């Protein structure tokens, strides 16, 4: 249940607050009556630098930190930058939580990842299975870096009584997602590929893997609501899954997005490319029990809204990509 009084007269820092998820979290905070929301931008506070963390805390003076910032992408991005992804996520998280404790920040909410689960965790993934194996290889550097936040949060709670909680989301999607094919996750990548193919009249679209892996997805507004409900109502040491509790194969996902975008060509699966983790689906009962969270958005409606947003914002997206090119 939402507790708007929780946010009154509190200073809140949202790392990653200008990004895909963070901007929705910041808006929901304003709707809850929060008036002092500090959103550090990377150009001003590169949180990989401990000195930038110090400056951010000096400037924001937070009572609560919602740590959403991350360095992450799809399978190709993760394969190409494993060292950078590991280092950046460790350095953005571990020193920040430590300094938050030292400064007496009342509560630290860490946003983890489903990539931390073992590659062959029983489905649906239950939080008690979190340590029963090594993560899927293409996601391991990211998943393990984020997993250390749970170790740290539990250790600081045990030794110092510090109130840090860890939430574990499935793959997010929705309006405002990253549609850059070099770094995007599967839903925005498929939306862009099929939209482009439909407009160009292409007869086939090439896709990674064989389509057999399954995934679960959470609409960005639902994820933001889960974060805030957890911040308001949960003060425990156990990690908590955030998801929709619905599983879909990549093949069925591609066919659904193809249909919704109007693409009528062939699907060509490149089995030389990695599939990633075989199955992903969460047991979401703990989130409902501990702080009353249940996803509200139906999957097809969420996809429709995401496709519509991409089409409406495509020119701006492409212009930003051109500007970011080294020789632009």
Active site residues: 142
Rounded Cα distance, 239 and 169, in Å: 10
For the chain, the straight-line distance linking the first and the last C-alpha, in angstroms and rounded, comes to 49
Place of tokens 């996601």: 139
Rounded Cα distance, 294 and 300, in Å: 17
Pairing of strands 171-173, 248-249: unpaired
Task: Report which of 66, 162, 124, 118 is spatially closest to residue 241, judged by C-alpha positions.
Answer: 124
Strand partners, 13: 38, 65
**What kind and span of H or E run contains 21?**
helix 20-31
Rounded Cα distance, 55 and 303, in Å: 39
């Amino acid at each position: 249940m939402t507790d708007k009084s929780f946010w009154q007269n509190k200073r809140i820092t949202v790392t990653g607050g200008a990004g895909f998820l963070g901007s929705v979290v910041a808006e929901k905070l304003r709707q809850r009556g929060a008036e002092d929301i500090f959103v550090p931008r990377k150009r001003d506070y590169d949180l990989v630098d401990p000195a930038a963390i110090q400056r951010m805390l000096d400037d924001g003076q937070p009572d609560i930190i919602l740590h959403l910032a991350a360095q992450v992408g799809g399978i190709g991005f993760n394969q190409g930058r494993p060292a950078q992804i590991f280092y950046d996520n460790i350095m953005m998280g571990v020193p920040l939580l430590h300094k938050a404790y030292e400064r007496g920040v009342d509560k630290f909410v860490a946003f983890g990842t489903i990539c931390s689960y073992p590659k062959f965790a029983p489905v649906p993934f239950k939080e008690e299975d979190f340590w029963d194996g090594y993560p899927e290889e293409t996601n391991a550097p990211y998943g393990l870096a984020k997993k250390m936040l749970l170790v740290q949060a539990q250790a600081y709670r045990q030794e110092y009584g510090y109130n840090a909680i860890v939430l574990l989301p499935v793959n997010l999607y929705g309006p405002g997602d990253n549609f850059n094919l070099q770094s995007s996750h599967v839903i925005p990548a498929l939306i862009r590929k099929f939209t482009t193919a439909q407009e160009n009249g292409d007869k086939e679209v090439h896709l990674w893997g064989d389509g057999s892996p399954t995934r679960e997805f959470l609409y960005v507004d639902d994820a933001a609501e889960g974060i805030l409900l957890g911040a308001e109502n949960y003060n425990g040491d156990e990690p908590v899954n955030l998801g929709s509790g619905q599983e879909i194969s990549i093949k069925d996902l591609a066919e659904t997005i193809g249909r919704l975008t109007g693409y009528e060509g062939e699907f060509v699966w490149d089995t030389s490319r990695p599939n990633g983790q075989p199955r992903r689906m969460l047991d979401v009962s703990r989130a409902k029990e501990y702080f009353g969270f249940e996803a509200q958005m139906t999957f097809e409606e969420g996809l429709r809204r995401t496709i519509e947003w991409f089409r409406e914002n495509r020119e701006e997206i492409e212009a930003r990509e051109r500007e970011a090119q080294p020789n632009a």
